[in-house]
Each structure stands twice: as structure tokens, then as C-alpha cells.
């Protein structure tokens, strides 16, 4: 793996909020005698407070599995997941409920990530009431959240089907922010949106980070999005990290052939820019 430009081999930071060390995840194979399917093959990475680490790779690379392992939704075979100084890879239900205050997620599809039978107010109120907030306190926080994600106050009484995809994703972001978490895992949060709405949502996430110092693990297949959002980038291929470093460096002058291939595959509207990127990537590949 290419060494991290700022944190040394593996990207080790002593002040990390989240640290993964030699993380391995596998699932039983199909059939009694089939070998286990190994999804993650020894992943190590760090995220510092207030930082965005972009995790990029093609479909099936294992990037979503990393987020699921952090959330306790994927079976960790070996390795460690340390959050705020505590090991959480084997955390039980009670510990996971407590972790919800500091660790949240925004999923890819705004159409399926919200309960269609709950109003927006009920959706935002659930985590607050579940953590012991009173009704008055929860109502005030819901109003604050709706304002923060630029939705009207009357949105609290409406159902998800009454909103566009971009608005639904803003509701999902508000829900993730309800408990003032320290880290949000963003799993392809704009890939289901049109380009204009994508930029609006990404800019909102950046504004929120600037105001709250929340950290993001930003999972995506799009190098353009990851460059726009991230301080650092980790590139994953076949369950292994192949390159990490500063976001501008990795997305402008990638060192690994796989990263260069991802850059070539990323479409841009400007034909001349696409040609320039292709020539730069091919030159880098020959050097």
C-alpha cells in the first residue's frame, strides 16, 4: 500500500477519533463446503476529529463493508475498531445504543432510509426520545434541525413521500445530527441524486462540519466527490487499501494504477478536461 502523505504508513494518528487496525471481515460461502468470502483483508486507517476521510473504490471493493463494520453491522473476523479510545468491534446492544450519541450514519437511498409511515417530526424525535430527552426538549431540537438543513418548520408534520429526493436526504442528515455525533458515516449519500442536488447536499455537509467539527467517513465511488469533500483519501481495491494520502494529491497525481484507473473512469462534462485528465493519468502510469 502507498504510504499516507501525512500520517505515515497506514495513516496512523495518535489523536485519531476512529482507528481501524488490520480489520478483516468474511462471510460464509454459498454451500456447505464453500470457502468463506473474504471481504476485508487487513484494513488499517484513522480519522481525526473534524476531518473527512474519503473512502473510494468501485462496487464490490469492500468500502461499504468498512462502514458497516464500524457500525456493528458486519461480522469482524479479526482486527480492532477503536472509537474515542475504546474498542467497539465486539460491542453488544447496550454499548451500541450508547454509541449512537457519538456515531451515526447517512445511507445512500433517501427513498428507503426513512420510514414512510412516520412524519418527519417523529423520525427526528425517535433518537432524541430514545436517549431520554423530554417532549419539549425534543420539539425544540427538531425545529433547530429542520432550520439547520434548510427545511420549513411545517416539514415536521409531513410524511417523507411529500418531499423530493434531495429534501429526504436532508431529513436523513438531520436525523443523523440529532444527537450531536462526533462521527457520521456517509455511505454514498448523494449517488441517488441529480447533479445539482448533489452539490447542494455536499455543501450542506461541509457547512455542518465547519460549524460542529463533526468527522465524516465519506464512502463513495466518485473521485470528484471525494476530492470536493475530503481532507484525506483512502482507496480500496478487493478488500485492501492500495493508496492513502492528501485528497488533492491522490485525486490529482495518483500513484497506484487502480487509483489512476478510477480517475480515468470518472466522467466530466468538459471534453477537454476529460482529455487532460486522461493524458495526465497515462503520463503518470508511464513514470
Per-residue confidence (pLDDT) for residue 277, from 0 to 100? 56
Total domain count for the chain?
1
Per-residue confidence (pLDDT) for residue 210, from 0 to 100? 96
Residues 183, 185: Cα–Cα separation, whole Å: 7
Residues 95, 68: Cα–Cα separation, whole Å: 16
For residue 215, give its domain range: 9-102+182-194+209-251
pLDDT per residue, tens digit, the chain (287 aa), is 554 544 444 456 779 999 999 999 999 888 777 888 999 999 999 999 999 999 999 999 999 999 999 999 999 999 999 999 999 999 999 999 999 999 999 998 888 889 999 999 999 999 999 989 999 999 999 999 999 999 999 999 999 999 999 999 999 999 999 999 999 999 999 988 888 899 999 999 999 999 999 999 999 998 889 999 999 999 999 999 999 999 999 998 999 999 988 887 765 545 565 566 556 555 555 55
The grid coordinates of residue 84 equal 474515542
- 130 to 117, 133, 135, 177: CA distances (angstroms): 18, 7, 11, 14
Q: Calculate the dihedral angle through the C-alpha atoms of 143, 149, 153, 156, rounding to the nearest 10 degrees.
A: -80
Could you tell me if residue 167 is inside a domain?
no
Could you tell me if residue 89 is inside a domain?
yes
Per-residue confidence (pLDDT) for residue 112, from 0 to 100? 87
Per-residue confidence (pLDDT) for residue 29, from 0 to 100? 83
Could you tell me if residue 190 is inside a domain?
yes
What is the maximum alpha-carbon separation in the chain? 63
Residues 133, 95: Cα–Cα separation, whole Å: 19
For residue 39, give the CATH number of its domain. 3.40.50.300
Could you tell me if residue 282 is inside a domain?
no
Residues 100, 105: Cα–Cα separation, whole Å: 9
Per-residue confidence (pLDDT) for residue 282, from 0 to 100? 56
Could you tell me if residue 187 is inside a domain?
yes
Per-residue confidence (pLDDT) for residue 224, from 0 to 100? 87
Per-residue confidence (pLDDT) for residue 70, from 0 to 100? 97
- 65 to 183, 187, 197: CA distances (angstroms): 17, 10, 26
Per-residue confidence (pLDDT) for residue 109, from 0 to 100? 86
Could you tell me if residue 111 is inside a domain?
no
Phi and psi at 199, nearest 5°, equal -65, -40
Q: How many CB atoms within 10 Å of residue 142?
A: 22
Amino acid at each position: 500500500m502507498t504510504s499516507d502523505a501525512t500520517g505515515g504508513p497506514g495513516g496512523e494518528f495518535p489523536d485519531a477519533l476512529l482507528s481501524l487496525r488490520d480489520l478483516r471481515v468474511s462471510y460464509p460461502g454459498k454451500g456447505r463446503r464453500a470457502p468463506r468470502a473474504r471481504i476485508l483483508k487487513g484494513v488499517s486507517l484513522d480519522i481525526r476529529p473534524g476531518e473527512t476521510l474519503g473512502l473510494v473504490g468501485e462496487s464490490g471493493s469492500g468500502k461499504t463493508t468498512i462502514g458497516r463494520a464500524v457500525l456493528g453491522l458486519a461480522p469482524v473476523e479479526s482486527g480492532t475498531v477503536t472509537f474515542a479510545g475504546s474498542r467497539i468491534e465486539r460491542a453488544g446492544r447496550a454499548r451500541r445504543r450508547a454509541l449512537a450519541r457519538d456515531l451515526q450514519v447517512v445511507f445512500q437511498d433517501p427513498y428507503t432510509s426513512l420510514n414512510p409511515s412516520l412524519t418527519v417530526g417523529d423520525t427526528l424525535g425517535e433518537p432524541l426520545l430514545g436517549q431520554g430527552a423530554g417532549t419539549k426538549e425534543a420539539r425544540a431540537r427538531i425545529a433547530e434541525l429542520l432550520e439547520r438543513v434548510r427545511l420549513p418548520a411545517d416539514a415536521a408534520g409531513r410524511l417523507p413521500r411529500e418531499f423530493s429526493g434531495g429534501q429526504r436526504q436532508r431529513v436523513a442528515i438531520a436525523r443523523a445530527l440529532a444527537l450531536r455525533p462526533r462521527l457520521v458515516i456517509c455511505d454514498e449519500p448523494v449517488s441517488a441524486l441529480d447533479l445539482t442536488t448533489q452539490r447542494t447536499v455536499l455543501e450542506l455537509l461541509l457547512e455542518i462540519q465547519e460549524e460542529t467539527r463533526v468527522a465524516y467517513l465519506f464512502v463513495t465511488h466518485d473521485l470528484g466527490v471525494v476530492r470536493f469533500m475530503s481532507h484525506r483519501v483512502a482507496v480500496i481495491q478487493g478488500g485492501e487499501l492500495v493508496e492513502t494520502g492528501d485528497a488533492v494529491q491522490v485525486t490529482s497525481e495518483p500513484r497506484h494504477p487502480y487509483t489512476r484507473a478510477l480517475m480515468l473512469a470518472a466522467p466530466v462534462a468538459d471534453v477537454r478536461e476529460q482529455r487532460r485528465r486522461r493524458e495526465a493519468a497515462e503520463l503518470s502510469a508511464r513514470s
